[in-house]
Structure 1
């Protein structure tokens, strides 16, 4: 899904020419999508963007701020609540995110790439937790009519566990299962996590 980054505004550039700050953010997105937060340095980001590391410091202040702004810039691409969908539609959109391919260019990067790479990094934990709560758990809870996001957080823990296990360990037996079947099982698990009947041992939803 093509997009342009609007993290900085400038009146003295040619149309279509990215500012230094935009190049930094775009480069950081790709790096954070491919490597954990802890393994990505400001020097790495500066080198990828073709700018001096001192400029990166001046533009963003810290690596944490770059990571936070990268997630915010990417969030609209994975707006699971767009169009005020019902719960089943939102779960379907979330499941789509679970099978994203490794990005080769910045246009392919999605928030879940960054979350998967850095979810275990203590330095990024607070930023990721806030993103999960605001951008995923709250809208998912509202779609199912729940007063609190407890069930949504449980469902998202299933999602993140599946995505992390699949991406980092890549067990052959799991990958041998057709992707359509994996997706159906994940969708069923997430739907049942969000439905009250599941707490009584009754599976309230199955794919048609």
Structure 2
């Protein structure tokens, strides 16, 4: 290709190579522009591929972000499981799904790394806040018909408990079974959802 010729977009040889190129471009743009500011078109341009190819590999920007950050769970798959069943048990189901996502040390490592980054780097905090707010908290609040503040308070309770359990390993919280923790915190999360 001559120096002045435009870069050709579209499918490249090697699926995993193309996928990794898209992921690298997404990491760069999510870091520079945040979750809301990065676009599929911009990521495709950065990777030198057609936007349709980004959708082919990742379907949506949300799923691309999940893959980029190695997020342990896809909110679009978890939400239906949380909403299915009696409303009075939604607190327990939320906890069960969150704990399932955190159960494997390899799965939770990227989340812990993101949380640590968010505590010391403003850009990382912005990116996490944008994703968690739009992809998770506001979606859960809207689906349950509750104010976002209640869902945010419930999330802060759960994240705090999981940090005490898996990062700080505070006893006896670190050693009790998942079901014991669900029995302990499930009613608390349910109160956030149901209100006073």
Q: TM-score range by the shorter chain?
A: 0.5 to 0.7
| Length, aligned pairs only | 151
CA contact (8 A) 1:151 1:194 kept: yes
Q: What's the counterpart of residue 20 of structure 2?
A: 22
Q: Distance in 2 between matches of 1:191 and 1:11?
A: 48
| Runs of at least 5 residues in structure 2 that lack an aligned partner in the other structure | 1-8, 36-60
CA contact (8 A) 1:138 1:149 kept: yes
Spell out, residue by residue over 1:158-182, the C-alpha distance to the aligned partner (whole angstroms, 9 max, x if none). Answer: 1111122222210232223222101
Deviates more, 1:59-68 or 1:90-99: 59-68
Q: What's the counterpart of residue 96 of structure 1?
A: 97
Q: How does 1:33-182 map to 2 (within 5 A)?
A: 61=28, 64-65=31-32, 68=35, 71-73=65-67, 74=71, 77-79=74-76, 80-82=78-80, 85=83, 88-89=89-90, 92-98=93-99, 99-103=102-106, 108=107, 112=111, 115-123=114-122, 124-146=124-146, 148-182=147-181
Structure-2-length-normalised TM-score: 0.58
Q: Distance in 2 between matches of 1:139 and 1:161?
A: 21
| Runs of at least 5 residues in structure 1 that lack an aligned partner in the other structure | 1-8, 26-55, 198-208
1:89 deviates by 4.4
Greater helix share, structure number: 2
Spell out, residue by residue over 1:58-94, the C-alpha distance to the aligned partner (whole angstroms, 9 max, x if none). Answer: 7754671598576344587232333792554476145
Q: What's the counterpart of residue 54 of structure 2?
A: none
Aligned CA distance change for structure 1 residues 138 and 117 (closer, same or farther; 3 Å): same
CA contact (8 A) 2:154 2:192 kept: yes
Q: Distance in 1 between matches of 2:111 and 2:192?
A: 20
Q: Distance in 2 between matches of 1:76 and 1:171?
A: 25
Q: Distance in 1 between matches of 2:178 and 2:34?
A: 30
CA contact (8 A) 1:91 1:190 kept: yes
Spell out, residue by residue over 1:11-68, the C-alpha distance to the aligned partner (whole angstroms, 9 max, x if none). Answer: 2324xx412662684xxxxxxxxxxxxxxxxxxxxxxxxxxxxxx6x77546715985
Spell out, residue by residue over 1:106-161, the C-alpha distance to the aligned partner (whole angstroms, 9 max, x if none). Answer: xx579845554444233311111112211221122123312x31111111111111
Q: Distance in 2 between matches of 1:19 and 1:66?
A: 24
Structure-1-length-normalised TM-score: 0.56
